[in-house]
Structure 1
Amino acid sequence: MLWLALTGCAVSHKHSVPQTAIRPALDADQTQLVDSYNRQADAVRTLNASVQMTPTAGSAYSGVIQQYHQVSGFILAERPAMIRVIGQAPVVGTNIFDMVSDGQTFRIFIPSKNEFLVGPTQLERATKNPIENLRPQHLLEAFFWTQISASEPVILEQVESPPSRYYALSVLRGSGSKLEIARKIWFDRSDLQVSRLQIYGPGGRLDSDISYADWQGVLSPNAQGNDAPATAIGKLAATPLIFPRTFRIARPQQDYQLAVGITKLAFNSDIPADRFSLMQPAGTELVDLGAGQQEPRP
């Protein structure tokens, strides 16, 4: 019954700092924050984006794009679990990597290595070869959020990290005395937009740490947006189709760090199924990560 004592309570972390150093903060309660998050989670059905991707040194991506500081690319995604990510070399536009996931299996083609990687999406063990830790579905969870259901225990915190202030919603799983954290959602109180999403595995293991910035309006087939910065949602009124233009994705268990900047974005347009198809090119080496074996394929 631990969560009964915690759910709905606000925990405040404070530090003594000059009042002038703290940014003005907007107010919201737990119900408003959950509603705002769920509206955003429900707003996006498909995504079609042009992006700039910057790997962190030592990460899985840096092993693929080691000669480039930044690469261009495209991301296609459709709920619940379809995603394709293509990274291209600057100027010449040749593919550096091409990867897809359908929620069951991921497939990754790396032309410079002449390798075609396949494996089950639930395969999360890290390998000594950083390239084999690439997973397209890890980007999917940054774009498509899981809604907070009414049955999930939630704890609200107020966190002060001068000059910023945050609300943090911790979403729990389990029951009775066996509760553990599943997600932690951070809202920047300067505008009440989500600024960070942390996703946890069993035993409180941090699997994903995703930061968001530069929320803007988006053009879609069903609504008109604009490229001006999104206005503050002080009273958390519904603001249709806004989306962050900057992501930073960290996967500490797989040495996975990647910054993604969106340069062009469209929502909720139909995407043909074949856009998510990736077949093994002839003459490449098949690397079956699920089996832990490599076998050549003509």
Structure 2
Amino acid sequence: MTGHTVIEQKPVAKDATREELLEAYNLIAHSTKTLNATVVLKPTAGSKYSGVIDEYHEVKAFLLAARSAEIRVIGQAPVIGTTVFDMASDGETFRVSIPSKKKFLVGQVAGERVSSKPIENLRPQHLLDALLWPEIRKEESVTLREFNDENARYYILTVLRGGYQVEILREIWFDRSELRVARMLTFGPKGVLLSDVRLGDWQPTDAATGQRAPATSSTAAASFPRSIRIERPHDDYKLDLQVTKISLNEEIPAERFKVEQPAGAELVRVGDPTENKQP
């Protein structure tokens, strides 16, 4: 042992302008129309997902998403492959089937209300913005700043919400070592942090047909992060997604986004103050 200290070399930080970062973000947002993926879901202990899948360390899930707001996620138990949950949202109504509990949850996306029962807080639409990014429109005000920490150097695009009082709508963090999106934060009124999404391990997609992609699409638009962490602090919601297989821009029939109430399942209308339930 020589006792020499090895100093880890940080990647060289690349430079980019505000316009170049906006173009890079919007290229991916605009090019990704549909998504068909196989993922591994790992709930954080204590979060609402653990109320349904706490008996499993992880759950394999099949995930479909399409603009503007369609999503379906089918979770299966490891090894035996039985369905743990089957949930979908069309942007207005969400539906969640949990066979082991014999429950079928239905609620309005806009009328979300946190339930004291963890099982009633599954929300498929919470995954959408992490998978199909909202475009930054030309009329939106966007600022650029730098941020450095001990791990990396970043560019941060801040999208502002106008009106009587200007507020932050979103923050998009680019890791300057590759100029890839590494983090996205979404804020509500009065600065409430709605979601914090961290993205990593960017790789080419398994198949990107590009049938609906614009002519300016590049390899950047045909790449996708394999590691995604979603945190929603006000929803007691933390979830890790490891993407094992993904295809972009395939045609997905509308019926594949439909979840029907199974025979014998109890209907629970989430958010209904009368807690109306039907067999």
**Same fold? TM cut 0.5:** yes
Out of 48, 60, 63, the position equivalent to 2:36 is 48
**2:149 counterpart of 1:168:** no
Match of 1:220 in 2: 208
Counterpart residue identity of residue 261, structure 1: Q
CA deviation after TM superposition for structure 1 residue 163, in Å? 2.9
Q: Is the 8 A contact 1:106 1:118 kept in 2?
A: yes
CA deviation after TM superposition for structure 1 residue 154, in Å? 1.1
Out of 227, 235, 249, the position equivalent to 1:246 is 227
Match of 1:196 in 2: 183
TM-score, L = length of structure 2 = 0.91
Match of 1:98 in 2: 86
Determine helix, strand or coil for the equivalent of 1:32. Answer: helix
Determine helix, strand or coil for the equivalent of 2:114. Answer: coil
Q: What RMSD, in angstroms, separates the aligned Cα atoms of the two structures?
A: 1.8
Match of 1:13 in 2: none
Q: Deviations over 1:134-174 (max 9, x none)?
A: 11001011111111112111111100011310001110011
Distance 2:51 2:154 in 1: 35
Q: Is the 8 A contact 2:204 2:219 kept in 1?
A: no
**2:165 counterpart of 1:184:** no
Distance 2:221 2:272 in 1: 44
Distance 2:131 2:147 in 1: 25
Q: Deviations over 1:161-211 (max 9, x none)?
A: 1131000111001146x1000000000001000000001111110001000
Out of 225, 247, 252, the position equivalent to 1:266 is 247
Out of 118, 136, 139, the position equivalent to 2:127 is 139
Q: Is the 8 A contact 1:53 1:261 kept in 2?
A: yes
Q: Deviations over 1:202-247 (max 9, x none)?
A: 1110001000001111112238xxxxxxxxxxxxx76341111110
Match of 1:284 in 2: 265
Distance 1:52 1:101, change over 3 A: same
Distance 1:238 1:150, change over 3 A: farther
Determine helix, strand or coil for the equivalent of 1:157. Answer: strand
Runs of 4+ in structure 1 deviating by more than 4 angstroms, as ranges, are 19-22
Counterpart residue identity of residue 260, structure 2: M
Counterpart residue identity of residue 47, structure 1: L
Determine helix, strand or coil for the equivalent of 2:208. Answer: coil
Distance 1:166 1:23, change over 3 A: same
CA deviation after TM superposition for structure 1 residue 295, in Å? 3.9
CA deviation after TM superposition for structure 1 residue 132, in Å? 1.6
Out of 16, 21, 24, the position equivalent to 1:33 is 21
Structure 1 unaligned runs (5+)?
1-18, 224-236
Match of 1:122 in 2: 110
CA deviation after TM superposition for structure 1 residue 20, in Å? 6.7
Out of 74, 78, 82, the position equivalent to 2:70 is 82
Distance 1:155 1:222 in 2: 31
Counterpart residue identity of residue 141, structure 1: D
Distance 1:156 1:295 in 2: 49
Match of 1:297 in 2: 278
Q: Deviations over 1:66-88 (max 9, x none)?
A: 11111101000111010000110
Determine helix, strand or coil for the equivalent of 1:57. Answer: coil
Identity %: 50
Structure 2 unaligned runs (5+)?
1-6, 212-217
TM-score, L = length of structure 1 = 0.85
Counterpart residue identity of residue 44, structure 1: T
Instruction: Give the paired residue count.
Output: 267
